[in-house]
Amino acid sequence: MSELFSIPIRWWIWPLHGSNYASALHAIPFWTELRNTVFLSFSIVIGAILSSSFAAYGLAKIVWPNYSGIRTLPMIVIFFAGQRYFMQGISFSTDVG
């Protein structure tokens, strides 16, 4: 513990104790929690991919009137959203400085 508060600051604690990692892994059920985390993350990603692909397929099969106008709408939103954030940055910098 004295090494943590020594002056001058020691950036590398020596000697290294590998037993700290082993005791930390045995203090909690690490491998069980890791397995649950990986399973949950994998399930969420697969569910998102499946639901998104079903929605995209369904929307692709709809015959839209004025399709070219609807297709350009996301591009217009992207262009103006960037300018909006840029203008907010300018406004913030003039207020602060």
In the chain, where are the structural domains located?
Answer: 65-97
What is the residue-level pLDDT of the chain in tens, covering all 97 positions? 666 777 777 777 777 778 888 888 888 898 999 999 999 999 999 999 999 899 888 877 877 776 677 677 777 777 776 655 555 555 555 555 4
pTM, 2 dp: 0.50
How far apart are the C-alpha atoms of 48 and 42, rounded to whole Å? 10
How far apart are the C-alpha atoms of 13 and 2, rounded to whole Å? 11
How far apart are the C-alpha atoms of 15 and 13, rounded to whole Å? 6
